Structure 1
Amino acid sequence: MLLWAKEILGALLILAFFYMLAQLAALALGKWGKRLASFTSTDLDDRILQRIIPHVSRLLITLGFYLAAQSLPLPGKAVPVVSGIIFIVLVVIVFNLAYHILDELLKWYLAGKQSADNALLSRQMVPIVEKIATLFMMGIALITILTHFNYDVFSLVTALGIGSLAIGMAAKDTLAHMISGFTLMLDRPFHIGDRIKLSNGTVGDVIDIGLRSTKIQGLDATLLIIPNADLCNSTVINMVRPSSVTQGRISVGVGYGSNIEQVKNLLVELAREDAETIEEPGPLAQFTSFGESALNVVLLFWVSDPNRIGAVTDRLNCAILNRFRESQIEIPFPVRTVIMEKELPCPTE
């Protein structure tokens, strides 16, 4: 009976020691930790401290219960059962502690780093990374618990590997799109809101980059849903990066009797007069070819916003037509000359 009393007293002393240690740790982290964190330029450490202090306190108290249960003279298999339950609680507390730290790191990253174009992770990828990291930590916690109870972890890992292989073979196309989605999110050839031009000539704005597909809103307000694997393996022109300056092009034909230098100067002058064309690079007119019924000239101009190309082209077309009429510069119609030969009479014998 005296032995039982000593062991119970020892367990109580262990609990009391770890309870006091938990209070001291919470006090030290709350007072000295926050004081040290105040010297840093970011509030990340302050937020991490605020979230982990309760978990550190619970961790120390639970550890005291675990050690106290080990020292108690419980009958039969009660000791491994009680200590096993407390060990599971310990693992859960450690998992929550790590999860809260990860969550604060990702929130800090989203708040401070996503404005940079060279950010490693896109905003769409952060929740995916958080889920993968959470699953990874849950796997480690499960393996730790199974190892504690002397369970053969190797057989579990083997079964999971075979199951993953079977799933991968059955859903290879979906996995290909998902891997391509990760590639797009990491490589970042375009961002949400960018205007891009696809290999088939379709122009649209990126509105979402998902794991399986990318959504693009066309200029005619249609929604294009393109599998990531197809988008990753094709040529895509980003019309706003590294610069949003976009080129416009107007082709016009003038009569063969026109002064080509006058035509080129007039086109450049009209482009410079438009308020939305930029000065550098400036507009440029080029005599490109001899047509069947016209001299072909192309006007190149640049605007700072790709969304305004259509409006600027419309204004310049109207201005060119009016100025050509005022300057009596002919825009000829296609001309065909047909020579009708008189049918000769058939020779008579």
Structure 2
Amino acid sequence: MDNLIRFFQLEAADGLLLFWLKESLIAVIIFASFYLLALVLGHVLVTWGPRFTSFTKTDLDDRILRRVTPPVSLLLMFAGLYFAVASLPLPEKAHVITSGILFVINMIILTIIAYRAADEFLQWYAARMTGVESSGLRQLIPLVEKLISIFLIGTALIITLKHFNYDIWSIITALGIGSLAIGLAAKDTLANMISGFTLMLDRPFHIGDRIQLAGGQIGDVIDIGLRSTKIKTLDNTYLIIPNSELCNTVLINMAFPDVLSKGRINLGVAYGSDISAVKALLVNTALEIPHVRKDPAPEAFFVSFGDSALNVSLFFWVEDYTKVFSVTDQINCLIAKRFQENGVQIPYPTRTVLMEKD
């Protein structure tokens, strides 16, 4: 009887051993298949990938291919290991722990692949931006990278928690309430940041442009940040203006649509002066200044009858708005000289008082 029991025990042990050998062989075949697939795919991506991407006009696909090839091969290997372990008849607790670890590793690798592709695209896009006007957009690149990282990590975390049968809706609800509280506490900062995005994308002005604010201040744009914009005024002082105020106000961009600018000089001549001769003298005087454009040519207009003078305006154009003040000074000095030479008088304000006797 003991020998019979021992015989059945040996038969059961042999059957169990054969079962484990069979399952282990299947797991090895699964892993080996994925391993070979990873090697083949890596070889194809390294050898044949550049040949296919060479047909495109941009090098973006080449750069992304180089960045994602190593983790893609690694992802296939760990995916094969995950399915191989899943096929083994392990105890439930050991199976949950082992497959869970491998699932987390696969999610990490997949997140790295997505981040590398997005990062390569942003670096490629930043390298294509040239000129001063692109400096504001360049400031967005690090912020966009951080937002993409947060999004990818959050997505991977939600998928992982869902895989382990955790209630993700309670976490999403808590995050939503927390975000709402943070948004209410920092509404002014968020408003300025959103306005900064608007200024950088809509670009009503660029760095280096001269603008005039609704309050009358004139200055050059030095920096467009996420919270505020810095403007250097003509008297060499800095204005730091919150972006939300700039988005909700009326301003004049002197550098748009081009840097060509128009100047104006108002003056009065004595009653009795030859207005046609005065207008011709003003135009010829403006043309003597090197920075005044001949096309469009300067123009002079008889504007109105003043209390003690005939009011005349001279309009002229210069190549650059930064030279309007200096050119105005030169024209004024030369007008005073030419008026003196030609006997044109600029009268003082006068008032006649009549005294009547009883």
TM over 0.5: yes
Instruction: State the AA in 2 paired with 1:26.
Output: G
2:282 paired residue among 252, 262, 267: 267
RMSD between aligned residues: 2.1
How far residue 47 of structure 1 moved from its aligned partner, in angstroms, is: 0.8
2:151 paired residue among 136, 139, 153: 136
Match of 1:45 in 2: 61
Contact 2:282 2:300 in 1 (8 A): yes
Deviates more, 1:7-16 or 1:37-46: 7-16
The correspondence of residues 131-170 of structure 1 with structure 2, limited to 5 A, is 131-170=146-185
1:196 paired residue among 205, 211, 216: 211
Q: Is 2:120 aligned against 1:104?
A: yes
Instruction: State the AA in 2 paired with 1:107.
Output: Q
How far residue 302 of structure 1 moved from its aligned partner, in angstroms, is: 1.4
Contact 1:114 1:123 in 2 (8 A): no
Match of 2:29 in 1: 13
- Specify the SS of the correspondent of 1:12: helix
Contact 1:114 1:122 in 2 (8 A): no
The correspondence of residues 263-302 of structure 1 with structure 2, limited to 5 A, is 263-302=278-317
CA distance, structure 1, for counterparts of residue 45 and residue 51 of structure 2 = 9
Instruction: State the AA in 1 paired with 2:61.
Output: D
Match of 1:122 in 2: 137
Q: Structure 1, residues 111-169: CA drift from partner, whole Å, max 9, x if none?
A: 3355698x9x9333333333323222222111111111111111111111111112222
Please say which structure displays the higher CA radius of gyration. Answer: 2
Q: Is 2:131 aligned against 1:77?
A: no
Deviates more, 1:278-287 or 1:151-160: 278-287
Match of 1:347 in 2: none
How far residue 14 of structure 1 moved from its aligned partner, in angstroms, is: 2.3
Contact 1:205 1:217 in 2 (8 A): yes
Q: Is 2:52 aligned against 1:68?
A: no
Q: Is 2:344 aligned against 1:326?
A: no
CA distance, structure 2, for counterparts of residue 274 and residue 26 of structure 1 = 70
CA distance, structure 2, for counterparts of residue 248 and residue 174 of structure 1 = 40
Q: Structure 1, residues 86-134: CA drift from partner, whole Å, max 9, x if none?
A: 11111111111111111121222223355698x9x93333333333232
Instruction: State the AA in 1 paired with 2:145.
Output: E
How far residue 171 of structure 1 moved from its aligned partner, in angstroms, is: 2.0
Deviates more, 1:41-50 or 1:266-275: 266-275
Match of 1:26 in 2: 42
Match of 2:250 in 1: 235
CA distance, structure 2, for counterparts of residue 223 and residue 195 of structure 1 = 13
- Specify the SS of the correspondent of 1:122: helix
Q: Which runs of 5+ in 2 are unaligned?
A: 1-16
Contact 1:267 1:299 in 2 (8 A): yes
CA distance, structure 1, for counterparts of residue 193 and residue 230 of structure 2 = 14
- Specify the SS of the correspondent of 1:288: strand
CA distance, structure 1, for counterparts of residue 200 and residue 128 of structure 2 = 18
CA distance, structure 2, for counterparts of residue 156 and residue 302 of structure 1 = 64
How far residue 27 of structure 1 moved from its aligned partner, in angstroms, is: 0.9
How many positions carry a matched residue from both structures?
A: 341
- Cα distance, 1:331–1:199 mapped onto 2, change above 3 Å: same
Identical-residue share of aligned pairs (%): 56
1:207 paired residue among 211, 222, 227: 222
How far residue 293 of structure 1 moved from its aligned partner, in angstroms, is: 2.1
Q: State TM-score, norm by structure 2.
A: 0.89
Q: Is 2:107 aligned against 1:91?
A: yes
CA distance, structure 2, for counterparts of residue 131 and residue 336 of structure 1 = 72
CA distance, structure 1, for counterparts of residue 200 and residue 91 of structure 2 = 58
2:195 paired residue among 177, 180, 187: 180
CA distance, structure 2, for counterparts of residue 279 and residue 291 of structure 1 = 30
CA distance, structure 2, for counterparts of residue 139 and residue 303 of structure 1 = 56
Deviates more, 1:76-85 or 1:141-150: 76-85
Q: Structure 1, residues 286-332: CA drift from partner, whole Å, max 9, x if none?
A: 11122222222111111221111122111111111111111121122
Q: Structure 1, residues 238-295: CA drift from partner, whole Å, max 9, x if none?
A: 1111222111111122211321111111111122232222233321111112222222
Contact 2:265 2:315 in 1 (8 A): yes
How far residue 15 of structure 1 moved from its aligned partner, in angstroms, is: 2.3
How far residue 35 of structure 1 moved from its aligned partner, in angstroms, is: 0.5
- Specify the SS of the correspondent of 1:289: strand
CA distance, structure 1, for counterparts of residue 264 and residue 142 of structure 2 = 42
Deviates more, 1:70-79 or 1:315-324: 70-79
Deviates more, 1:277-286 or 1:320-329: 277-286
- Cα distance, 1:173–1:116 mapped onto 2, change above 3 Å: closer
Q: Hey, which of these two has a bigger chunk of helix by percent?
A: 2
How far residue 340 of structure 1 moved from its aligned partner, in angstroms, is: 5.9
1:253 paired residue among 263, 268, 274: 268
- Specify the SS of the correspondent of 1:282: coil
